[in-house]
């Protein structure tokens, strides 16, 4: 569970390769709350994603997951700068039985570096040099939900968990999904990284994926299924 943020980033939870993604003319951000059914390592619980304004042109994007044995809360504070989403800070708090961890990320665009503190290994504390267009794990999730229905390239550079990583997702077809009793056509996108596979179902008009599935060694590991938007 303590590695959930980096796992979520591969959904969310892989490039920008040599160039940052062009985010001009992106849809205007609007607040939302999305309720999910969460399945993680055989446990079932509830998950919520939300986006809310935080003042000064900034937004807070939050994920929380709770089951009988574990609780997770992640959040990213970000703004829009020159047509691109830009992470400013992030928190990651997890509690599994009696074990608790807490991490914090800081994206200093003035100095051009990202650093991490709290329960992090020395080699994951940074600094990592930032590039224009960099996203954190949470923002990759929002970017895929925005870009896939529009037919845009799904190439991103994720700076999270003490490292920078180029990520490319591919469209693998269309499927029907049900959200709040209504059927929608979803674009199915996926990414494979060694023995791990991440699959997302995104629906035009929904700001978050309708489903996020991560598989490891061919077995389902993390599965979030959207049940309602508020």
* Position 94 in a domain: yes
* Position 226 in a domain: no
* Position 212 in a domain: no
At residue 28, the pLDDT reads 77
* Position 202 in a domain: no
At residue 121, the pLDDT reads 93
Q: What is the pTM of this model?
A: 0.83
At residue 97, the pLDDT reads 74
**Whose structure tokens read 């990583």?**
165
* Position 228 in a domain: no
DSSP state of 139: H
Q: Are 78 and 65 in contact (CB under 8 A)?
A: no
Residue 7: half-sphere exposure toward Cβ, Cα within 13 Å: 19
Low-confidence ranges of the chain (pLDDT < 70): 1-27, 41
Tokens of 83: 């047509």
* Count of the separate structural domains present in the chain: 1
pLDDT digits (tens, 9 = 90+) for 80-106: 999 899 999 999 998 877 788 999 999
* Position 196 in a domain: no
Phi, psi of 147 (to 5 degrees): -85, -35
At residue 92, the pLDDT reads 93
Sorted by sequence, the CB contacts under 8 Å of residue 151 that are 6+ apart come out as none
Its domain, for residue 94, covers 4-169
* Position 87 in a domain: yes
3-state secondary structure of 190: strand
At residue 18, the pLDDT reads 26
* Position 200 in a domain: no
């Amino acid at each position: 569970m303590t590695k959930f943020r980096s796992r979520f980033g591969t959904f969310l939870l892989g490039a920008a390769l040599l160039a940052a993604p062009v985010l001009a003319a992106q849809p205007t951000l609007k607040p939302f709350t999305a309720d999910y059914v969460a399945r993680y390592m055989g446990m079932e619980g509830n998950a919520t994603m939300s986006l809310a304004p935080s003042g000064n042109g900034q937004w807070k994007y939050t994920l929380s997951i709770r089951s009988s044995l574990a609780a997770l809360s992640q959040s990213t504070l970000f703004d829009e700068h020159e047509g691109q989403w830009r992470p400013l800070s992030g928190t990651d708090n997890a509690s599994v039985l009696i074990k608790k961890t807490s991490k914090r990320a800081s994206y200093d665009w003035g100095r051009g570096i990202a650093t991490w503190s709290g329960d992090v290994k020395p080699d994951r504390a940074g600094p990592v040099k930032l590039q224009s267009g960099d996203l954190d794990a949470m923002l990759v999730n929002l970017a895929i939900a925005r870009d896939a229905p529009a037919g845009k390239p799904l190439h991103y550079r994720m700076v999270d968990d003490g490292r920078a990583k180029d990520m490319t997702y591919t469209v693998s077809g269309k499927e029907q999904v049900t959200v709040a009793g209504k059927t929608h056509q979803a674009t199915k996108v996926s990414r494979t990284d060694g023995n791990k596979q991440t699959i997302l179902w995104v629906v035009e008009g929904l700001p978050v994926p309708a489903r996020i599935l991560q598989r490891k060694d061919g077995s389902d590991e993390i599965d979030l299924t959207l049940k309602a938007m508020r």
